[in-house]
Amino acid sequence: MSQVKKAIIPAAGLGTRFLPATKTVPKEMLNLVDAPTILYVVEEAVNAGIEDIVLIAGRGKHAIEDFFDTSFELEDKLAQTGQLHLLDRLLKIRNVANIISIRQKQALGLGHAVYCGKPVVGNEPFAVLLGDEITIGQDGSPSVTAQLVKNFSENQISSVSIMQVSDEDVSKYGIAEVEKISDHRHKVLSVVEKPKPEQVKSRMALAGRYVFDSQLFEELKSGKPGLNGEIQLTDSMKSLLNKKGLEALTFTSQRYDAGDKLGYLKATVELALKNPALETEFKKYLKDLTQPWSRK
Ligand code: UTP
C-alpha cells in the first residue's frame, strides 16, 4: 500500500488579478496577517504528513525560495537581542520540510506546472496544493489535504476536494459530476473545466487540493492545450478518471482563494480574528466600522 509523502505546490502563475502588486512580488508571498500565503499552504501539507515539497516557481519568484532559506544576519540579530520567540519561528520555517524548487519557464497552465514536478515525484502518489489558496480547519478536524491523503492510503485511488458553488460561480471552476459513496466521499463521474451553468447539472466545484496516482503524469504528458490555450489539469483528470477512477471529498474547512482580491481580504479578516494578539481589538474595530452609530 503506497502512502502520499510528496506534494507539488504550483506557484508560478502570473498573478494578473493582483497587478501591479504582483509585478515584483509573487502573489503567493502576499501577507496574511504576519505570514505569506505560501507558508499556510506548506504547513497544511506538512501537517498532513508530506515530507518532500516540490515548489513550482516562475521568473521573479526568488522571494519564495528565499523565504524558506536561512537568513544568517536576521537570525543572528534576533539571537543577540533576545527575541527568541521570533527566532524560533524563523528556524521552524526553514526546517518545516524538505523544499525542492523547480522552475516553470513559461506559465503554460496549471497542468503544465504540475507536470514540471515529475522529475522529483517519479512513480509515487502525490498531493497538489494550489499556492494561492488557503484552508482554515475547524479546531481538531483534519485539513483538506489530510483528508485526501488518508483516503489514498485507505483506498489507493486519486481524489479531489469539492465544494458547492452558486450558479453564477460555476463558470469560474472545474465542475465535477459526482455520485455519493458515503458521508464526505463521492465517486467522480465526469469533470469539465469552467462550463456555463446550463452545460452541467452539478454545482460541485474543484477546490485547490488534490491527491493523484502518478499515472496523472502520463495523461499530462500527452495532454494538449485546452481552454485559453493552457494545459489544463482538468483535462488530464478526465483521462485519469477513465483509466484508474477518481473520487471526490467534501470538507468542513473554510477555503479562501487568496489569489483573488475579495478572497484575500476575507482570509485576512478571518485570520486576524483568530489571532490571539489581535482578536479583541480587531473585533471591536470591525463592530465600530459596521455599526458607525455605536462609535463614541
Ligand atoms: P491561477 O490561475 O489562480 O494563477 O492558478 P494565475 O494565472 O497566476 O492567476 P491570475 O488570473 O493571472 O491572477 C492557480 C495556481 O497555479 C499556479 C499559480 O501560481 C497559482 O498558485 N500556476 C498557474 C502555475 O504555477 N503555473 C501556471 O502556468 C498557472
Mutate which of 9, 53, 104, 132 to test ligand 1's pocket (most atoms within 8 Å of Cβ)?
A: 132
Q: What is the CATH number of the domain that holds 103?
A: 3.90.550.10
pLDDT digits (tens, 9 = 90+) for 112-156: 999 999 999 999 999 999 999 999 987 778 899 999 999 999 999
pLDDT digits (tens, 9 = 90+) for 206-265: 999 999 999 999 999 987 777 677 778 999 999 999 999 999 999 999 999 999 999 999
Average pLDDT for 102-111: 92
| Integer Cα distance of 42 and 31 in angstroms | 14
Secondary element (H or E) of residue 93 = helix 84-94
Beta strands in 80-217 (DSSP E): 98-103, 126-129, 133-136, 159-164, 174-182, 185-193, 204-212
Query: Which cell numbers hold the place of 25?
Result: 512580488
Mean pLDDT over the full length of the chain: 93
Beta strands in 116-157 (DSSP E): 126-129, 133-136
- What pLDDT shows up at residue 294? 63
Position 296 in a domain: no
The alpha carbon of 287 and the centre of ligand 1 are apart by a number of angstroms equal to: 35
| Integer Cα distance of 133 and 28 in angstroms | 9
| Integer Cα distance of 217 and 221 in angstroms | 6
Mutate which of 18, 19, 130, 264 to test ligand 1's pocket (most atoms within 8 Å of Cβ)?
A: 130
Alpha carbon 194 to chain centroid, angstroms: 18
Q: Is the dihedral of CA 200, 173, 112, 49 positive or negative?
A: negative
Average pLDDT for 39-61: 92
DSSP one-letter code for 176: E
CA-closest residue to ligand 1 atom 4: 13
Average pLDDT for 185-210: 96
pTM of the model: 0.94
Position 249 in a domain: yes
DSSP one-letter code for 22: G
| Integer Cα distance of 76 and 91 in angstroms | 11
The alpha carbon of 12 and the centre of ligand 1 are apart by a number of angstroms equal to: 6
Position 109 in a domain: yes
- What pLDDT shows up at residue 130? 97
The alpha carbon of 15 and the centre of ligand 1 are apart by a number of angstroms equal to: 6
Position 31 in a domain: yes
Spatial CA neighbour of 253 closest among 134, 131, 129: 134
Percent of the chain scoring above 70 in pLDDT? 98
- What pLDDT shows up at residue 30? 95
Strands 126-129 and 6-11, by their bridges, are parallel
Range of the domain at 150: 6-291
| Integer Cα distance of 47 and 14 in angstroms | 28
CA-closest residue to ligand 1 atom 23: 13
What residue ranges line ligand 1, CB within 6 angstroms?
Answer: 10-17, 28, 56, 104, 107-110, 112-113, 130-132, 259
Position 1 in a domain: no
The three-class DSSP label of residue 198 is helix
| Count of structural domains within the chain | 1
